[in-house]
Amino acid sequence: MKIIADENIPCVRQAFASLGEVTLLPGRGMRPQQVRDAELLLVRSVTRVDRDLLEGSRVRFVGSATIGFDHVDRDYLQAQGIGFSTAPGSNATSAAEYVVSALMVLAQRQGFDPAGMTAGIIGCGNVGSRVRRKLEALGMQCLVNDPPLQAQGGHDDFVDLQQVLQADVITVHVPLTRSGPHPTLHLVDAEFLACLKPGAVFINTARGAVVDNAALDSLLGERADISIVLDVWEGEPAINCELLEKVDLGTPHIAGYSLDGKLRGTEMIYRAACEFLGTPVQWSAATELPPGPSLELAAGDDWLDAARAAVLECYDVRADDARLRHLLMLPPEERAACFDRLRKEYPVRREFAELDVRATRMDARLEQLLAGLGFTIRS
């Protein structure tokens, strides 16, 4: 069986070797002639999967190692009888930890304490729900807006966007949708941005086009009090470099790029392919994970400083911000390739649960906070 896979899906060759011959290709440049003879196609969000790519091919299963599916024409796949699977929730923990790292960095830079602040969470699915738990562990009051989830019932603590706009911190975790009752394309537009309260922090780790980047660029030319964290951008990989210069933290669409999350995504589409083919599972992501980092906390450390040390030891968003800003020094024609290269050559990053946190004596409040953020404490 011939299998075509995005070269940036980690361990994809090891995982799928038992199912057939795996050929790796750059995901952004996949062409119809390259996938014509394949039966399995494995992609990420940079590959548009539709009639133009698959018409006349032998593809009978598509796996996307992503939590989103706005890059896939699911109606076309269904009409053609082509199996399809994504990896929902695979990188949700990693994306939530990105938000915590960014907030810790901004708190240190600007001298604020997250405890007692309000956080507006737009979208409370796999990622947003994890963000909520972590921010509540920091002592923040969370205001949740998710109309599709609210319509399903079972919860009574949802608020409208106007209430979210009163929050000190707003973080977005919605899929990119262009139609339906709750489209998210440019959900965050000029009107939304104009309503941000003085000193607000705004974070987007969802999809670039959820935020009108031109409107945001214009706003930041007028208001210096707003703090902006962007991991996703309109027009990727050719991003708005003027906007990058204005944001507080900017990264190359890597919020969910922990090694744990990426391998989880590989395993999820591998298992889905095995089920589709009726083939036994023979590979597990656990065999590919190295030991995590370690941190020794000193007795008597301030609880917020200690928590920040643990977060940044595991993942410091400033390193990714610095790497992305390097492209500002490049000629314009080289910047898009640099953006993609930063994603392809991303360093190993582990999730909070894999940090070996040790302390001889720990304050109960700190221990509770670290556990709420997802750390495992070892005495």
Percent of the chain with pLDDT over 90: 86
Read off the CATH number of the domain in which 326 is found. Answer: 3.30.1370.170
Mean pLDDT for 12-17 is 97
Does one domain contain both 217 and 326?
no
Tens digit of pLDDT for each residue in 242-272?
999 999 999 999 999 999 999 999 999 999 9
Considering the domain architecture, whether residues 114 and 219 belong to the same structural domain is answered as: yes
Give 5's pLDDT tier (boundaries 50, 70, 90). very high
Alpha helices in the chain (DSSP H): 12-16, 32-35, 51-54, 74-80, 92-110, 126-137, 147-151, 161-164, 190-194, 213-220, 241-246, 259-277, 303-314, 317-325, 332-344, 364-373
Least confident of 10-24, 103-117, 350-364: 350-364
In DSSP notation, 273-312 reads: HHHHHT------GGGGPPPP-EEEEPTT--HHHHHHHHHH
- Active-site residue 207, yes or no? yes
Do residues 181 and 97 share a domain? Answer: yes
**Confidence check: pLDDT of 154 > 70:** no
- The predicted model gives 100-105 an average pLDDT of 98
Mean residue pLDDT of the chain comes to: 94
Q: What value does the mean pLDDT take over residues 287-294?
A: 89
Strand-pairing partners, residue 204, are: 172, 230
Give the pLDDT band (50/70/90) at residue 361.
confident
* Catalytic entry in 44, 71, 132, 207: 207
Same domain for 224 and 100, yes or no, is yes
Of 250, 276, 305, the residue at which a domain comes to its end is 250
Q: Active-site residue among 234, 236, 267, 354? A: 236
- Give the confidence band of 294 by pLDDT, cuts at 50, 70, 90: confident
What average pLDDT does range 42-64 have in this prediction? 97
Cβ atoms of 233 and 327 closer than 8 Å? no
- Amino acid sitting at position 117: M
| The pLDDT of residue 155 | 72
Q: Report the pLDDT averaged over residues 283-294.
A: 90
Same domain assignment for residues 226 and 77: no
For 24, the enclosing helix (H) or strand (E) is: strand 21-25
pLDDT above 80: residue 300:
no
Range of the domain at 108: 92-250
User: What CATH number is given to the structural domain containing 165?
Assistant: 3.40.50.720
Q: Are residues 299 and 283 in the same domain?
A: no
276 and 268 Cβ atoms separated by less than 8 Å: no
Residue 31 has pLDDT above 70, yes or no: yes
Is the peptide bond between 280 and the residue preceding it cis, with omega within 30 degrees of 0? no
- In this structure, the answer to whether residues 124 and 39 fall within a common structural domain is no
Q: Are 219 and 193 in contact (CB under 8 A)?
A: yes
**Same domain, residue pair 96 and 80:** no
Q: How many CB atoms lie within 10 A of CB 357?
A: 25
Residues 120 and 196 placed together within one structural domain of the fold: yes
Look at residue 262 in the predicted model and tell me its pLDDT: 95
Among the listed residues 173, 253, 308, 323, the single catalytic one is 253
- Confidence category of residue 379, pLDDT binned at 50, 70, 90: low
Tell me which long-range contacts 178-181 makes (C-beta under 8 A, separation of at least 24): 181/147, 181/148
pLDDT at 124: 95
- 242 and 97 within one domain: yes
182 & 213 share domain? yes
Same domain, 58 and 40: yes
pLDDT in tens, 198-220: 999 999 999 999 999 999 999 99
Enclosing H/E stretch for 121: strand 118-122
pLDDT tens for 61-88 read 999 999 878 899 999 999 999 999 999 9
DSSP reduced 3-state for 71: coil
> 């966007």: which residue's tokens?
161
Rounded-to-integer distance, Cα 249 and Cα 345, Å:
20
Q: How many domains does the chain have?
A: 3
